[in-house]
Chain A
Amino acid sequence: MESSSPTSLPESAVEPDFASFDLLVDALGRWSESGPAWPPARGVRSEWEEIAPRLERARRELARVLVVGVVGGTGTGKSTLVNALAAGEVTAAGDVARPTTVQPVVVAARDVDVSWLPLDAMSARLVRSDSPAVANIVLVDCPDPDTQDFQDGPADPSRPSAGNRNRDVLEAVLPACDVLLLVATAQKYRSWIVAREVAAFAPGRPLFFVQTHASRDPDIRADWKRELESQGFDVPRIYRIDGVEAAARSAARLEPEPEFRDLVAAIDGELAGRAARRVRRTGALDLAAWFTRQARTGSAPTAAPVAALVSGVETERKRLEGILARSIGETLRANRSAWQRLIGDDVVARWHGGPFASFLHVIAAAGSFWSRVRPGAGVVGRLLAGRPIDATCRDGGWRAVEELGLPAAEVEQSRSVLAGLAARAGMHAPLVGRARLDDAAAATATSALVDRAGQWLSAGIDRLVAERRSRVGRPVVHWVFEVLFSALLVTVLVRAGWNFFHGNLWQGGPVSGIGFLEEALVWVILWGLVLRWLIMWLVRVGLDRDIQSLVGSVASSQLIDPLLADFAAAASACSSWLDEGARLAAEADRLADVSGETPGLGRLRRPTS
C-alpha cells in the first residue's frame, strides 16, 4: 500500500466503499457460480470466469502503478505519441510501411518493478524511460487492430497479410491494461474495427481520447465525441495534439505545446499515486456494473417465460388437485357403509355395561364377519376398512395413483404442458425431466404421492371419526339409548311378571308360556335394530359436509408436488436466480454511481450491443 502520497480524502471516507465492493464481488461470485444448469446461467458463469480474475486483481493490487495501453488504428500515430511521452525513440514510428508496430513496447520508469507484467504472454519488449510523463505509469504501445484479416478462417497464403497477427497480439496485450489511451485521426475515428475492439475491452477500463495529426487534419473532436457517446462512452475531454511536433519538441527539450502539456498533466493527475487507487476502484466498479447489466440483458428475454412456468406449475398443480379432490370425495361419499361401520364400530366398542351395549356388541361381532368378506378397494378403501397403507400400495405405481382417482393421463398432460413452458424458458434435461416420466422416476413420484395421500387421508379420516365419536359416543347418548332399549326390556319383563303373578297366580289364568317370551324377544331385537339405525343416522348426519371440508384441504397437503417436483424446483430456482441478479445489478449500479469521479477520464457507461 502506498502511504506516502498526499491524500485528499480521509481513509475512513474511502473504506466503506471498499467494504461494500468486496461484499458485492463475493455476492456476484456466489450468484454466478450457483446458477442452475440453464443456458442463461451458464452464459453468466462463463462471463464471470472471464472477469472474476480482473476484479480479484483490482482488489489485491490496489496500489500498484497503472498500465496505460495506447490503442488506435494503423497510421494514427500511436508510436509517435509514445515516443513523445517517453521523450525518446523507444518504438519505431513512421510512414514507410503499414503496419509499423508489430511487437508491443512496454515503457516504464527505471525504478518501477514490472515483474508482475506477463511480458512473454504479451510478446512485448520492455524499454526504460526517464521521462516525467511516464514516471508514475507503465505505458504500452499496442499494435493496431485493423491490418489483420477479418476472417477467422485460414487466410489466403499468397497475401503478405496472411501472417499478420496484430489484432491477436493486441487482444493479448489489452487484458493487462488498466487504462486505455485511444488515438484517432480524421480518417480513423469512425473505423468500425477499432470501435469493435475498443468496445470489447472498454468495460472497466477508463479512457483518454486523443486526436493526433493536429497539424494536418481538421478538428473532428465534436463529431468524434458524438460518435463515442452514441457507443455509450462518457467523454469529458478529447485532446488534440500533433505527435510528430510533440516528439520533436520533447527531443529538443523545448516547452511542449499546451494540449500536449495538458495531456501529460492529466495522465499524472488522474493516474499517479493515490489517484491510481481511485481509478482502479472506479474501473472495477464499472466492470462489476457492466457485468451485471450484461447478465441482465442476456437473461431478460427469459424472465417472462420463467414467470409463465412458475404460474403454469401453480395452474397444473391446482388442476390435478381438483381432479384428485373430486374423485377422493366421490369415493369417500360412495363408501357410506364403510364410514358407518368405521364410526359405529368405534362408538360401540367404547360402550360397556348396559343391555343395549351388549346387544350392539353381538351385532358388531356378526357384522365384522361380513366386512372381512368384502374388503375395501384402493387406498381409500383400505383406510376406510381400518387398514394401514403398506408397501403393496406404495409400490403399485400408476395403478395406485389411479385408484386414488388421478388418471396417469392427466398427470402426463400436465407434465407435457409444463415441458412446453420449460422449453420456452430454455430449460431442458437435467434441469427438468421429460413429459413422460421413466419407470424409476414414476415409481418414486407415485410412491411419494401414495404415501402423502395415505398420511393425509388417514389423518383426515381419524379426525372425522374422532369428532363424530365424541358427538355420538358421549355417555349421555349412550345412557339415553340404554334407557330406550331397557324400557322395552323392562316392559316385557313387567308384562311377563304381571302375567305370571297377577294373571296366573292371582286370577288363575293360563300361563302364557314360552311363546310370549319368543314373541317378546323378536320385538326386543327389532327395537334394538331400530335404535342402532338411529345411531347410524346420527353418525351419517352432516357427513357429506365434513367430507367436503376434508377434501378441500387437499391443496394445503401438497399431494401433487412429487409429480411436478422437477418443474416446480426448476421454475423457482431460475426465478430466484433472476431476482438475485436484478438485486445485484441495482447494487452494482448504485455503487458505480456513488464511486469517486475521475473527471478527466472517459468511461463506458452502458453495455455496448
Chain B
Amino acid sequence: MAPDSLVPRMSSAPTLAPPSFAAWAGTVAELCRQVEQLVPLAAALGAEDPAARGWYAALFGKLKPQVSREPLLVAAVCGGTNTGKSLITNTLVGAAISRSVPEAARTLHPVASLAPGVAARTDLAALFPGFTPVPWTSEADAVDATAVDVLVWREDLAGTQPERLVVLDTPDIDGTLRVNWHRAELVRTAADVVVAVLTQQKYNDAAVRDFFAAAVAAGKTLIVVFNMVDWPRQRERIAGWLATFTAETAAVPAAVYAAPHDFAAAEAGRITLHPLPELTPDGTAVPLAERLSTGDFDRIKRQAMAGALRVVADPEHGLGAWLDGLDRAAAGWRDAQRLLEREGRVQVELPAPPREIVWDEVWRWLEPRRSAIDLVVSGGYRTVGQGLSWAARRLGVGRTAAERKEDFTATELEALKRALADFVDRLDDACRRDTRLAARLAPRLATADRSAWYADLERRHAALPLVSEDYRTFVRTELDKFAAANPGMVKAVLTGLTVGSVVRPVMTIALFSAGAAAVPAAAGVLHHVLDFGVTVAAPLAGEGAVAAAAQGIRPLIERLFAGWSAERGRILAETLHDVVLGDGVAEIASLAEAGRRPEIARARQLLVECSRESA
C-alpha cells in the first residue's frame, strides 16, 4: 500500500463515481441480495455463520451502505479502555460531545459529529448497519447504560466541520464488556479513516493489535495518536513503540501525533496534540483536525472501498471461501442422507393375512360375471368349507373368523411396533455416527415422549378397517386389468384363491424412496408415503401356489395380497413421518440438494464481476 498523505486540498464537487460505477453498485447490491438468501441456508446446513467474518462486515457494513450513497468520509477514533478516546474526539470536533470520565469502558455507544444538514439528507441507519441513530441530547448519551445498539449523532453547531466528514467516538476494544468490542468493530467497518489511540501500556496488547491490523487489511487510512505520553521525556521512545505497532499491524500511518499526560488538562477537557513530523510520511506538522478536514476525501474513500472489496474477495477468508464451505457442508449432508438411506430401512415380517379378506373382495368382483351353475357349485364348496371349519372349531383346533381377525390384528400390531422400535434404534445409531444427523434428528429423538409414538401407532392401527375403500378400488382395478389381458382366465382366479394357499408378506419400510430398488420381482407393491417407500412382497406358498402357478395367475394373487399388506404398512410410515420425524427427513433431503442451489453459483459469478469492474 502506498504511503497515504492527506494532502491539504479542499475537494470541490466531489465525485466518486467512475463511468461504470452505477453498474458496479448494481452488482454489489445483487451480490448482497444473493448472500442474504444464502445466510439462512448456511445456518440450516450447519456451515459457518458469516456474521462474525470480516468479509461479511465489509460487504454489508461498508460496500452495501456506502456504494450508492453520498460519499461521506467516516473517521473513527478507536482504542483500548481508558486511553482517552472521548477526550481526543472532543478535542477534534471542538466540543464536548462524548463524556470523558476517569472510569474505564464507560463509552457504550458511538457518538458521531456531523456537518449541519447531513442528518436530514442521509439515512444514518443504512450508513451504520447494526445501530439505531438517535439525536444527541447531552454528552451523557454515550455512557447511557439503558440504551442498546444506538448511535448518537450531533450536528456541528460551530459550522467548522467539513460537509462530508463524520467523526465518531467509539466504545473500547479490549474491555470486559464484549458488546463494546462488537460495536467498535461495526464502526471500524464503516470508517474510511481510523484514528488509533495508543498508550505506552497498550500499543502492543493483542486485542489492540488485532483490531488495527483488521483496519489496515480493509484499506482504512490510519492516523496514530500516542496518548498519555510523559512529555517530553518519552518523546524519543515513541519511534520504538510505533515501530513495534506497525510491524505487528502492517500499518503505514498517514500521520503520528502525541498527547502529553496532563491530568489537570484532561480534567478540564483540554488536550494538546503534538504532530510528530519525523514519524509522518509527508514530513509535515499539520494539526490533526486540519488534516482530517482537508484530506483528499475521494482517494481515501476509494481506497477504503477497494480495501473492503479486497476483504470480500480474499481467497482464503473471503466470500469465496464461505461459498466453498457451503458446498462442503452440502456434500456432508449428501453423505448423511446416504447413511440414512442405508440405515433407515426396516424389514417387517407381517403375519399371514386371513385369506377370506382378499377372497371376499375377489368374490364380490366375480359374482356378476359368473354363470348360475358356477354359483351353485362354488356355493356348495363354500357350504362344505364352512361345515368343515365348524367341526374343527368344535374340536378345539379351529378358530372363528372373528377370532382369527382378532389374532391377526394383535400379531400385526406387534410386528409394526417392533418395526417402529427397530427403526428408531437405527436412527439413534445413525445419529451417533453422523454429527449432522445428530444435530437435525437427535433433538427430536431425545426430547419427544416416545410412548406417544407407540400410542399414535396403536391409534392409527385401531382406526384402519381390515378392508378399506382404497383397497377395494385397488382389487377391482387389478382384476379389471387382469380380465382385460386374460379374458379366459377369470374363473381360474377363484380356483387359485380357494385352494389352500398361504402368503407370507414381507414389508420393507425405507426412508426416501430407496425402497424402490428393493421391490422384489413382480410380486411386490411399492407405495410412496410422504418420505417413505413402503414395499411389500407377498409370495404365495402351499399347494395353492402350485395350482396358481399352473394357471399362470400367481403374480396377480401375490399382488392382491401384497397390496393389502402395503396398505397396512402405510400406518407405520405415517406415524414415522407425522410424529417421529416430522419434516426432519424432508429437510435433510433438501439440504443434501443445497449444493445445487442457483444462488451459490450466482454469488460466485457476481463476486468475479465485482472484482473485475472495480479494477
Contact = CB atoms under 8 A, between A and B. Distances in A.
A187 B428 contact: no
A528 interface: no
B414 A75 contact: no
B206 A417 contact: no
A409 B418 contact: yes
A417 B454 contact: yes
B421 A436 contact: yes
Interface stretch (A84-92, A143-151, A477-485, A547-555): A143-151
A74 to B, nearest CB: 7
B200 A416 contact: no
Contacts of A220: 102-104
B210 interface: yes
A96 B413 CA distance: 83
Contacts of A407: 414
A154 to B, nearest CB: 13
Task: With a 10 A CB-CB cut-off, give which of B176, B420, B445 has the most chain A CB atoms.
Answer: B176
B176 A149 contact: no
B33 interface: no
Interface in A83-118: 95-99
Given A220-B104, A436-B422, 13 more contacts: A76-B201, A98-B201, A147-B205, A159-B247, A187-B83, A190-B104, A190-B177, A193-B206, A409-B413, A412-B422, A413-B454, A420-B450, A423-B446
Contacts of B450: 416-417, 419-421
A150 B210 contact: yes
Task: With a 10 A CB-CB cut-off, give which of B202, B234, B241 has the most chain A CB atoms.
Answer: B202
Contacts of B270: none
A193 B207 contact: yes
B201 to A, nearest CB: 3
B206 A146 contact: yes
A147 B175 contact: no
A37 interface: no
A223 interface: yes
Interface in A30-81: 73-76
18 contacts: A74-B201, A74-B205, A97-B204, A98-B201, A146-B174, A147-B204, A186-B82, A190-B175, A190-B176, A190-B177, A191-B174, A192-B178, A193-B206, A218-B263, A220-B102, A409-B413, A409-B415, A420-B448
B424 A97 contact: no
Nearest to B266: A218
A410 interface: yes
A218 B103 CA distance: 9
Interface in B426-458: 428-429, 432, 442, 445-448, 450-451, 454
Given A223-B104, A416-B420, A417-B451, A187 B175 contact: no
Given A191-B81, A420-B445, A75 B103 contact: no
Contacts of B417: 409-410, 412-413
Contacts of A412: 417-418, 421-422
Nearest to B84: A187
A148 B204 CA distance: 9
Contacts of A75: 199-202
Contacts of B263: 216, 218
Interface string B379-422: 00000000000000000000000000000000001110110111
Q: How large is the interface on A (under 10, 10 to 19, 20 to 34, 35 or more residues)?
A: 35 or more
A185 B228 CA distance: 13
A119 interface: no
Contacts of B598: none
A227 interface: yes
A383 to B, nearest CB: 21
B520 to A, nearest CB: 24
A412 to B, nearest CB: 4
Contacts of A423: 428, 442, 445-446
A160 B248 contact: yes
Contact of A191 (B175, B429, B447): B175
B240 interface: yes
B237 interface: yes
* Chain A interface main SS type: loop
A193 B81 CA distance: 12
Interface in B357-377: none
B9 to A, nearest CB: 34
Contact of B176 (A146, A195, A415, A420): A195
Interface of B: 80-83, 102-105, 172, 174-178, 181, 199-207, 209-210, 228, 230, 234, 237, 240-241, 244, 247-248, 250, 261, 263, 413-415, 417-418, 420-422, 424-425, 428-429, 432, 442, 445-448, 450-451, 454
B540 to A, nearest CB: 26
A326 interface: no
* Chain B interface main SS type: helix
A410 B414 CA distance: 7
B244 A159 contact: no
A304 to B, nearest CB: 12
A185 B240 contact: no
A161 interface: yes
B207 A161 contact: no
Interface string A483-509: 000000000000000000000000000
Interface of A: 73-76, 95-99, 146-150, 158-161, 185-193, 195, 216, 218-220, 223, 227, 231, 407-410, 412-413, 415-417, 419-421, 423-424, 428, 434-436
Contacts of B261: 216
B237 A185 contact: no
Contact of B248 (A159, A415, A434, A435): A159
A223 B105 CA distance: 11
Nearest to B410: A407
Contact of B237 (A96, A146, A192, A413): A96
Nearest to B234: A95
B212 to A, nearest CB: 12
A146 B413 CA distance: 66
Given A147-B205, A150-B210, A187 B199 contact: yes
A84 to B, nearest CB: 18
Given A95-B237, A159-B248, A416-B425, A185 B418 contact: no
Contacts of B248: 159-161
Task: With a 10 A CB-CB cut-off, give which of B200, B241, B261 has the most chain A CB atoms.
Answer: B200
A435 B204 contact: no
A40 to B, nearest CB: 16
A186 B417 CA distance: 69
A526 to B, nearest CB: 26
Contacts of B421: 409, 412-413, 415-416, 435-436
A413 B452 CA distance: 11
Contacts of B244: 97-98, 160
A218 B454 CA distance: 70
A574 to B, nearest CB: 16
A416 B424 contact: yes
A417 B417 CA distance: 12
Contacts of B176: 190-192, 195, 227, 231
Nearest to A222: B103
A73 B201 contact: yes
A409 B414 contact: yes
A193 B173 CA distance: 11
Nearest to A186: B82
A413 B413 CA distance: 12
A193 B174 contact: yes
Contacts of A424: 446-447
Contacts of A191: 80-81, 174-176, 205
A434 B414 CA distance: 19
B22 to A, nearest CB: 38
Task: With a 10 A CB-CB cut-off, give which of A74, A188, A218 has the most chain B CB atoms.
Answer: A188
B175 A428 contact: no
Nearest to B419: A409
A307 to B, nearest CB: 15
A419 B414 contact: no
Given A74-B204, A192-B178, A420-B445, A187 B247 contact: no
A408 B80 contact: no
